[in-house]
């Protein structure tokens, strides 16, 4: 069975600084997606970034980028130029592909990020 581990329950960063959130996962699969979701106080889950396992290039989305290390099964999220609106709970998630597995996400426990002015 797949597992996702986020070892940082809470983190804080000063506005405009850079912060990295850690995530490791365990799987024997070769085809999968990895995601970072953001859950602000409104509780709506918002996709931040997605990485396909077959792609070696790290995904980027504006101020958000990932460091995907497939062999090490590591998937960290870097937030550059942190903004107050980045304050939220961040979840790392794994999705196995194939056999109509789409949408069956395995989530980590989350990292609560606070951006301080």
Stretch that binds another protein, among 15-23, 66-74, 79-87, 106-114 (CB under 8 A): 106-114
The three-class DSSP label of residue 84 is helix
Per CB under 8 A, 33 contacts another protein: yes
Site for another protein in 39-98 (CB under 8 A): 43-47, 50, 52, 91, 95, 97
Per CB under 8 A, 103 contacts another protein: yes
**Among 59, 108, 113, 115, which residue interacts with another protein (rule: CB under 8 A)?**
108
Strands (E) in the chain, as ranges, are: 3-5, 10-14, 19-21, 24-26, 32-39, 46-52, 60-61, 64-69, 74-79, 88-96, 105-107, 111-116
Token pair of 97 as six digits: 């592909």
The three-class DSSP label of residue 35 is strand
For another protein, the closer CB: 5 or 18: 5
Comparing C-alpha atoms, which of 29, 21, 20 is closest to residue 1? 29
CB of 44 to another protein, least distance (A): 6
Residues that bind another protein (CB under 8 A): 4, 33, 35, 43-47, 50, 52, 91, 95, 97, 100, 102-110
């Amino acid at each position: 069975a797949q597992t996702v581990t986020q070892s940082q329950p809470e983190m804080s960063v000063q506005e405009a600084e850079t912060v990295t959130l850690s995530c490791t996962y365990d799987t024997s699969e070769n085809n999968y997606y990895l995601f970072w979701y953001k859950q602000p106080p409104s509780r709506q889950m918002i996709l931040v970034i997605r990485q396909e396992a077959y792609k070696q290039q790290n995904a980027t989305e504006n101020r958000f980028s990932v460091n995907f290390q497939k062999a090490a099964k590591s998937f960290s999220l870097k937030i550059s130029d942190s903004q107050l609106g980045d304050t939220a709970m961040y979840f790392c998630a794994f999705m196995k592909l194939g056999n109509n597995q789409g949408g069956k996400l395995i989530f980590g426990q989350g990292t609560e990020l606070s951006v301080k002015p």
